[in-house]
Chain A
Amino acid sequence: MNRRVLLGSLVVAAGSRLAADEPLAPVLRPEVTAGPFKLCIDRILQSRSVVTTYRADGSPMTEQSRSLQVHMAVYARDPGDAARLAALQVRGLTAETGGRVIDVSHNGGLLENPDDTASIRAYVYIQSFPRDVREIRSLFGEVVAFERSTPLEIDVPIKGDDLSNIGEKEGVRVTVRELTREGNNWRVRILATSSSSAVVLNAVQDGAYGVSLLNAQGKAAEANGGTLIQSAATQAQYLVVFSGLQGEPATVRLRIASRGGVRRVHPFKMEHIPLPERTAPLPAPR
């Protein structure tokens, strides 16, 4: 996968604190537009632990820890734009405490969600968040996207043991490196390469990375899983095992996206992201 989340440095921003007596209003989903994309916060999880230990003189000593996890998703305005997305970069996250805006260290990673309409999902984890803060002051970064993305379907004909055929479209070339029968299974290894100006991208979530094995009648075998190694932006190697092919293999088909053009950076900044809060005191028991 060429998509990735980069987590980086901090930009300090000024801001205001919520009023001390502000009530808990319905909270709308924080979202921000970044070029043709929209970044949304889907979920905020907060864990807190407050430990009060009593000293020998009876006075309490309190220690508190607080961590946050912020789940984000990026959506494309036009579904065709989804494959253009190259990276989501969260560059910084700030909180306002004691009248100062401070950087909050964080890390993060990708979240996978099959059959998703989001272009990418990611999380940011903050292991230690200021204890007296009710919002993330700002979260900022950028969405990086290619200028264009083209979905391709490339067929490579197979003739017996001859694997010399090449499939090629829009500068993306597909060669079959291995086609082996193992009992009822067929093991297929293919290599997709593109010109240096274009990037190949797996764009199919079908469990076989968009690779199909067809017989002479065009009927596909059942994919039993596989692996994808993308050693470079311009090169992807697939190994997929198929079963239940009726007859001999006639075609290896690859559905792939080719992205090219200028990489555009779409900055975003979200401010005043509310955090989950505890609720009001219960009435005093009688």
Chain B
Amino acid sequence: MTFCKSRRNSVWGSGAALGAATLALVGAVGAAPGGGPQGAAEGYRIVVERVQQSESLTLDFAPGEGREVSPFVRPNSPGRRSGRHSLQVAVAIHPPQPELLGHVERLEAEALAAPGVPLKFSVYPTDDAGRDAKRLQLVAPDVPLQLTRLRGIRGELLVYPRARMVRLDLPLKGPLPVSREVDGLKATVTQSKVTGELLSAGVQIQWPAGASVTYPNSEAPGGVQLVTASGQLITPSGTSASFVPAGALSRQFGVSFSGVKEAPAAIRVDALLRSGTMRRIPFTLPDLELPDQIRTAPDSNDSSDDPRPLGPGHPLYAAGGGILTASVSSSSGKLPAGTLLLGLSRLDEGPGAGWSWIELSPDTAGKVELRSLAPGRYRARLLWTAESGAGESLAQPTGGAGPTQEIEIIAGRAAATAPLKLEPNR
């Protein structure tokens, strides 16, 4: 939340405190908030204003560090995929009445990254605060790459039962130190010095036990500003603040104001003083789509990049299963030494089922046979990789396998894929 300086001056005048027990805010508030998906928590409305996905993906073909070998002698091998995916969800918390905005401390939220796997958000305030709502950024720095829909978003809104804006004006004309106190919030100007157009001062702020003090004006750390004789407000050009250990009830600020062209009248402290036991109000949000305008493909972290033989323990293995044969040939008639990768995806697990790639060594006729394959309907693809230096170079679509085909495996029976034909590389 930030303040509008000119309005605050005109509305607040020079009173030591504003309001009896509520936070008065300037501006039109109360209209039903528009925007994106939203949820309610006892009259507070949590509105999603923006969702940002940042994604970094790498396809790495280089061998590991220290194993750099010329491609003229090393065999070509599949690349390694890796990546990171992060999310930032900007939300606005609209209070049921404008005066309740200052009561909101923060929210805590989580979603589901996968069944039973919570995705916790870190919550940060934003500079994009408004007078109508408290705005926060929910950040999840490491989200599964596969995530395309954020489900089960739930959390709690933390709200103070009491909040009020306090203003303390500390005159600089008399002897120092000088103190003012309202509702237990006490500010003291411990020292002040004017050098030319530079005024430096020490300000101590103390608060009662159990209270929370924040300074809504982000341009004035400690809520400290200088009031000149004509009523002009000057924000600090420099501020230092003491460390506040847990449980401390005071903080010391060193502030300096430059460009002070007229007599300083007072140091002003504006602070939001909140107290009482925070209430936790649960809320939920509708699912959020995470748009991916490039069509998604199967998970790179499953077995699809890790060809392994079919045997007990393999998800496609079944004792007494069917037999699948495949073949690879070259249009030139000569097939150098190499490996055939057979990709299989179970159709009965739906279109999103993952792919398993099985590495097979063809015989001299370019044929391979896979036994004990679990019965069912599959999508199948073939990819050929030549051993380095194994004769002429043969081509298939760069990075791609042969066309996808559908096959059915029946226990005890043999089925065959369409042969893969390779063309000499030109």
A interface residues with partner B (beta carbon < 8 Å): 18-31, 33, 38, 40-58, 60, 62, 64, 71, 75-77, 113, 116-118, 131-135, 270-286
Given the interface pairs A47-B55, A56-B34, the reply to whether A23 lies near B379 with Cβ below 8 Å is yes
Given the interface pairs A50-B292, A280-B299, the reply to whether A56 lies near B352 with Cβ below 8 Å is no
How far is the CB of B34 from the nearest CB of chain A, in Å? 4
- Among A41, A77, A117, A286, point to the contact of B115 (Cβ < 8 A): A286
What B residues does A135 contact at CB under 8 A?
A: 399
What B residues does A62 contact at CB under 8 A?
A: 291, 293
Q: Which of B271-328 contact A (CB under 8 A)?
A: 289-301, 304-305, 307
What B residues does A42 contact at CB under 8 A?
A: 60-62
A277's nearest neighbour on chain B, judged by CB, is B297
Contact B114–A282 (Cβ < 8 Å):
yes
A285 to B305, alpha carbons, bound, how many Å?
Answer: 25
How far is the CB of A163 from the nearest CB of chain B, in Å? 41
Contact A54–B398 (Cβ < 8 Å):
no
23 contacts between A and B (CB under 8 A): A21-B351, A25-B383, A26-B78, A26-B304, A26-B357, A26-B383, A27-B79, A28-B399, A30-B398, A31-B76, A42-B62, A52-B51, A53-B50, A270-B398, A277-B57, A277-B81, A278-B55, A278-B57, A278-B292, A279-B298, A285-B114, A285-B115, A285-B151
Contact A52–B50 (Cβ < 8 Å):
yes
A283's nearest neighbour on chain B, judged by CB, is B115
What B residues does A116 contact at CB under 8 A?
A: 68
A117 to B66, alpha carbons, bound, how many Å?
Answer: 11
**B145 contacts chain A at the CB level, 8 A cutoff:** yes
What A residues does B265 contact at CB under 8 A?
A: none
How far is the CB of A40 from the nearest CB of chain B, in Å? 5
Main secondary structure of the interface of A (DSSP, over half): loop
What B residues does A30 contact at CB under 8 A?
A: 61, 398-399
Q: Which of A26, A28, A29, A274 has the most CB of B within 10 A?
A: A26
Contact A284–B151 (Cβ < 8 Å):
yes
A280 to B297, alpha carbons, bound, how many Å?
Answer: 5
Main secondary structure of the interface of B (DSSP, over half): loop
What B residues does A45 contact at CB under 8 A?
A: 56-58
What A residues does B305 contact at CB under 8 A?
A: 26
Contact B112–A285 (Cβ < 8 Å):
yes
Contact A280–B354 (Cβ < 8 Å):
yes
B300's nearest neighbour on chain A, judged by CB, is A279
* Further pairs besides A38-B71, A57-B34, A286-B116: 17, Cβ < 8 Å: A22-B297, A22-B400, A26-B357, A28-B77, A29-B79, A48-B54, A51-B50, A51-B51, A56-B35, A58-B36, A75-B71, A278-B83, A278-B292, A279-B297, A282-B113, A282-B114, A284-B149
Chain B 362-398: CB-based contact to A (< 8 A → 1; otherwise 0): 0000000000000000010101010000000100011
Contact A274–B291 (Cβ < 8 Å):
no
Contact B343–A25 (Cβ < 8 Å):
yes
Contact B146–A279 (Cβ < 8 Å):
yes
How far is the CB of A3 from the nearest CB of chain B, in Å? 17
Question: Residues of B within 8 Å of A, CB-based: how many?
Answer: 82
A110 to B394, alpha carbons, bound, how many Å?
Answer: 30
- Among B59, B113, B117, B404, point to the contact of A43 (Cβ < 8 A): B59
How far is the CB of A165 from the nearest CB of chain B, in Å? 40
What A residues does B114 contact at CB under 8 A?
A: 282-283, 285
10 closest Cβ pairs, A-B complex: A54-B36, A276-B57, A26-B78, A274-B399, A56-B34, A29-B61, A285-B112, A24-B297, A279-B299, A25-B401
Contact B296–A280 (Cβ < 8 Å):
yes
What B residues does A38 contact at CB under 8 A?
A: 70-72
A286 to B113, alpha carbons, bound, how many Å?
Answer: 11
What A residues does B397 contact at CB under 8 A?
A: 272
Given the interface pairs A46-B57, A53-B49, A272-B400, the reply to whether A277 lies near B294 with Cβ below 8 Å is yes
B60's nearest neighbour on chain A, judged by CB, is A43
A271's nearest neighbour on chain B, judged by CB, is B398
Contact B398–A24 (Cβ < 8 Å):
no
A45 to B298, alpha carbons, bound, how many Å?
Answer: 19
Contact A118–B68 (Cβ < 8 Å):
yes
**B411 contacts chain A at the CB level, 8 A cutoff:** no
A150 to B258, alpha carbons, bound, how many Å?
Answer: 69
A34 to B35, alpha carbons, bound, how many Å?
Answer: 56
Contact A43–B147 (Cβ < 8 Å):
no
Contact A24–B399 (Cβ < 8 Å):
no
How far is the CB of A23 from the nearest CB of chain B, in Å? 5
A100 to B412, alpha carbons, bound, how many Å?
Answer: 48
Chain B 335-376: CB-based contact to A (< 8 A → 1; otherwise 0): 000000101010000011011010000000000000000000
What B residues does A55 contact at CB under 8 A?
A: 34-35
A271 to B426, alpha carbons, bound, how many Å?
Answer: 12
A286 to B295, alpha carbons, bound, how many Å?
Answer: 24
Contact B68–A117 (Cβ < 8 Å):
yes
Contact B297–A278 (Cβ < 8 Å):
yes
Given the interface pairs A23-B404, A56-B34, A58-B36, the reply to whether A134 lies near B70 with Cβ below 8 Å is no
A29 to B293, alpha carbons, bound, how many Å?
Answer: 25
Given the interface pairs A23-B343, A117-B68, A272-B400, the reply to whether A280 lies near B352 with Cβ below 8 Å is yes
**B53 contacts chain A at the CB level, 8 A cutoff:** yes
How far is the CB of B114 from the nearest CB of chain A, in Å? 5
Given the interface pairs A45-B56, A48-B54, A278-B57, the reply to whether A20 lies near B401 with Cβ below 8 Å is no
Given the interface pairs A25-B381, A274-B398, A285-B112, the reply to whether A49 lies near B54 with Cβ below 8 Å is yes
How far is the CB of B73 from the nearest CB of chain A, in Å? 9
- Among B70, B77, B381, point to the contact of A117 (Cβ < 8 A): B70
What B residues does A282 contact at CB under 8 A?
A: 113-114, 144, 146-147
Given the interface pairs A23-B345, A29-B76, the reply to whether A278 lies near B34 with Cβ below 8 Å is no
Contact B34–A40 (Cβ < 8 Å):
no
A36 to B147, alpha carbons, bound, how many Å?
Answer: 45
What A residues does B62 contact at CB under 8 A?
A: 42-43, 71
How far is the CB of A162 from the nearest CB of chain B, in Å? 45
Contact A23–B58 (Cβ < 8 Å):
no
Contact B71–A31 (Cβ < 8 Å):
yes
